[in-house]
Chains A and B, each alone.
Chain A
Amino acid sequence: MRHFGWAGWILFVWIFVSIAGQLLPVDINQIHLPSILNAPDWQNWLGYDDLGRPVLGRLLAGSLTSLIVSFTVVTVSVVLGTILGTLSAYQGGMTDLIVVRVIDIFLAFPGILLAIALAGILGPGIDNVVIALSVVGWVGFARLARAQTLSLKHREHVLAAQALGTKKRKIILRHLIPLISAPLLIEATFGIAAVIIAEAGLSFLGLGVQAPDASWGSMIRDGARYMLVAPHLVIVPGLALMVVVLSVNLLGDRLRDVMDVKTNVQKGSH
């Protein structure tokens, strides 16, 4: 944990606060008209939004939204992508050709364009956001898992296992996946950051969470309307989003550095 410094701590706080925040006796949908757009003060740390709801409570609720969506999407994507990627590389032939083409087709949609179109067509709602982002998300993992498997499948221990007549499933699970898990972990870390931004982006466009649920993206969108009179409504969720994404990215960078050391050593050895 020492390697990951403050970024690790921030992520720990993020996860803790998201979960613990739900236990607080704050009703995030409680409207209090006289407090509308009140700026932060000592009693109310982050002030109130355009309906007089506490921004702190909504920030925490949005935090949980980010957490749940990002971990769900990345888990689904990693599992799907790894299975497809390793299988297709190991199998080779026609299967591989088809998977590669499908990957190419999905990669042809720049950025989150496909997710936007999917979420837009499936209709707003956080479940559709998870679906849309997973549909787009598996591709990167599949590509990575495939490339890694290709480079590993002629290693001695794999060939040995094949010679011994080990089942395909067992070879993939026991001999391949453990070796490719490190790069997948790094990719998954960056994936978390990307999904947090994507979910917030979809919610910003009105395609994500529906009122009165909270997401950092929808908070930024709503807050931008009162930017002139209550800038804290944009700045608070904006900072939270930025700090968390930055920390996740930093963590990914650190992880990569740590793993890179290993590959450098390997490079040097042959």
Chain B
Amino acid sequence: MLRLLLTRLSSTVIVIFGVISLVFLLIHLVPGDPVDVMLGENAQMADREALREALGLNRPIGQQLITYIGNLLQGDLGQSLHSRTSVSSMILERFPATLQLALVSLLVSCLIAFPLGIVAALNRGKAWDKVAMGVSLLGVSIPNFLLGPMLILLFSLSLGWLPVSGKSGFASMVLPAITLGTALAAVLSRMIRSTLLEVLNEDYIRTARAKGLSYIRVVIFHALPNAMLPIITLLGLQLGVLLGGAVITETVFSWPGIGKLTIDAITKRDYPVVQGCVLLISISYVIVNAFTDIIYGWIDPRIRQGDRS
């Protein structure tokens, strides 16, 4: 167990270091001189030098990276070029909104995916399976920047039930959560189906069936609890769909989270903020994944024994 924990932790640390380096390098991809792009070509010489100094762009690249990581360790993500406030405080201000939306979307996707996946698994190869998997495929095929406006048209405009956008209480969270949750539900329902089918092939399920228990009972009380573990792990891995999708969904619904902050910063060419947002989103994704992995390994003895490659 300790060995697993240590290898997992060390590889996580390496990945995080790689992510930081990659995000750090982003600013060097700006075509031309980043200072020119940010300030405009005719900016005062003094301003340009001040910014170059503040961003540390006048030092060797290795040294810049070390400073960058050093600052990160102190929670310093730099300063916004636009509002002149610290990037970390801007991100902290927006983080709760994204977290709320992600959690509600997760709930929504579970509410859609579990029934779909179970129905499909129960009726493997039959019409219901095809319908459920068709719905799931449709879900994967509708991008959230299309689903969002469509939902607004239907629920805010035609039916007038829900607010259009912005963040004002629970009602305003419904549409973005559905938009974001659907994409996840589509992937999740397929995983639930295949995991269930795998479990249903196990011996103890056959035994239970042989004892004369009804199929539905067997699935819900025997197969599903045993399938929960892999499903929860998959859920952790799919958090990426949620976090990545949040960028576009938040833009569609003017949801004041990190995703919208990222896009706003890109349009304002506020690169330190872009870097900070991308870094935060990716690192939280990496950490959540590492945790699910470790917990999974801890619970599941099969993994505890052997090392996975």
Contacts and interface: CB of A to CB of B under 8 A. Distances in A.
Do A's and B's CB atoms come within 8 Å in the complex? yes
How would you classify the secondary structure of chain A's contact residues: helix, strand, loop or mixed? helix
A205 B150 CA distance: 17
B24 to A, nearest CB: 12
Interface in A199-229: 200-201, 204-207, 217, 220-221, 223-224, 227-228
B15 A108 contact: yes
Interface stretch (B42-50, B209-217, B242-250): B242-250
Contacts of B207: none
A163 interface: no
Contact of B278 (A109, A224, A228, A242): A109
The 8 closest A-B pairs by CB, nearest first: A111-B244, A110-B240, A105-B18, A120-B266, A246-B141, A110-B244, A245-B141, A110-B243
A59 interface: no
B149 A224 contact: yes
A110 B149 contact: no
B295 interface: no
Interface of B: 11, 14-16, 18-19, 22-23, 26-27, 29-31, 137-138, 140-143, 145-146, 149-150, 152-153, 157, 239-245, 247-248, 251-252, 262-263, 266-267, 271, 274, 278, 281-283, 285-286
A59 to B, nearest CB: 14
Query: Most B CB atoms within 10 A — which of A110, A112, A118, A245?
Result: A110
A127 B91 CA distance: 31
B274 A121 contact: yes
Given A113-B262, A122-B30, A238-B146, 19 more contacts: A105-B15, A105-B22, A108-B19, A110-B242, A110-B282, A113-B247, A113-B281, A118-B26, A118-B29, A120-B266, A121-B26, A123-B31, A193-B140, A204-B248, A205-B251, A220-B146, A242-B141, A245-B143, A249-B140
14 contacts: A102-B18, A104-B11, A111-B244, A113-B282, A116-B262, A120-B266, A121-B26, A121-B27, A207-B266, A224-B149, A227-B152, A238-B146, A238-B150, A246-B138
Nearest to A198: B143
Contacts of A241: 143, 146
A217 B149 CA distance: 12
Given A108-B15, A111-B240, A116-B266, A204 B141 contact: no
Given A108-B19, A110-B282, A234 B142 contact: no
A201 B18 contact: no
Contacts of B14: 101, 104
Contact of A116 (B247, B252, B283, B285): B247
A238 B282 CA distance: 29
